[in-house]
């Protein structure tokens, strides 16, 4: 299993976004987490296709696009066209989740499905064979800087057990409240893709990335 840090540009300094993305890439980061929020499915509004298209020109990183939008099926091809390598939709936002998954797969990118803290893992367990990744939100979606919700740890454990039982190749991503303490919690529970915003972007970016990756390597060695 590959463990990855997935910095969320929601916490970046948008006055220096291109520069910060280059710093991440030089520091060895391979995945960039891109939160798209519409002000409807979640209260906040972030950014959309023009920003992704712009940074795509300057980066070779894997663009992990997380759609926190209502009826995301409307936009899947548009986000692929502007540079997404993976698209994650919320189970709660789709009228027909199976159709949304099919549209993402047909568009030629990796498929992710996300669930909010209150949504049971069982709601998406029947779809595990059809996705590449499940994103468990460990805070309420829509705002950065929130504290990790401890009750989400058991959901990670449950999901990991389901994936292992079925011998599936599905990544577990977590998003929300990741820091020195919770990083160990979620990795040992079964998560391998860690989205982090302020944990990465507060202070010296390059120093933070090296420090976090070193800590992840240490935890991984304990898991193995």
The residues annotated as belonging to the active site are 35, 175
Over its C-alpha atoms, the chain yields an Rg (Å, rounded) of: 16
All residues at 6 or more sequence positions from 102 whose CB lies less than 8 Å from its CB, including other chains? none
* 217 annotated to a ligand binding site: no
* 108 annotated to a ligand binding site: no
* 18 annotated to a ligand binding site: no
* 203 annotated to a ligand binding site: no
Q: What is the DSSP letter of 57?
A: T
* 90 annotated to a ligand binding site: no
Distances (CA, A) of 1 to 72, 169, 174, 198, 220: 29, 9, 15, 26, 10
Q: Tokens in use for 188? A: 């040992």
* 39 annotated to a ligand binding site: no
* 126 annotated to a ligand binding site: no
* 40 annotated to a ligand binding site: no
Q: Give the sheet arrangement for strand 110-115, strand by strand.
A: 4-7, 193-196, 171-175, 133-137, 110-115, 86-90, 62-68, 31-37
- H-assigned helices in the chain: 17-26, 49-56, 76-81, 97-106, 152-165, 180-189, 198-201, 205-223
CA–CA gap between residue 34 and residue 90 (Å, rounded): 14
H/E run at residue 136 = strand 133-137
* 211 annotated to a ligand binding site: no
- Annotated binding-site members for a divalent metal cation: 33, 35, 66, 175
- Annotated binding-site members: 8, 33, 35, 66, 142-145, 175-177, 197-198
């Amino acid at each position: 299993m590959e463990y990855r840090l997935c910095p969320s540009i929601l916490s970046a300094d948008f006055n220096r976004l291109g520069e910060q993305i280059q710093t991440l890439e030089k520091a060895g980061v391979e995945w960039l987490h891109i939160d798209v929020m519409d002000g409807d499915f979640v209260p906040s509004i972030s950014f959309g296709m023009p920003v992704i298209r712009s940074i795509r020109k300057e980066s070779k990183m894997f663009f992990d696009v997380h759609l926190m939008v209502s009826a995301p099926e409307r936009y899947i091809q548009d986000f692929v066209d502007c540079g997404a390598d993976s698209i994650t939709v919320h189970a709660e936002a789709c009228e027909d989740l199976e159709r949304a998954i099919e549209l993402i797969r047909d568009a030629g990118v990796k498929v992710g499905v996300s669930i909010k803290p209150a949504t049971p893992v069982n709601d998406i367990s029947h779809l595990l064979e059809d996705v590449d990744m499940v994103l468990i939100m460990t805070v309420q979606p829509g705002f950065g800087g929130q504290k990790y919700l401890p009750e989400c740890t058991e959901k990670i454990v449950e999901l990991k057990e389901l994936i292992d039982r079925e011998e599936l190749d599905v990544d577990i991503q977590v998003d929300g409240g990741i820091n020195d303490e919770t990083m160990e919690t979620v990795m040992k529970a079964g998560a391998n893709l860690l989205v982090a915003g302020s944990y990465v972007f507060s202070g010296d970016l390059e120093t933070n990335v090296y420090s976090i990756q070193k800590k992840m390597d240490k935890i991984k060695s304990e898991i193995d």
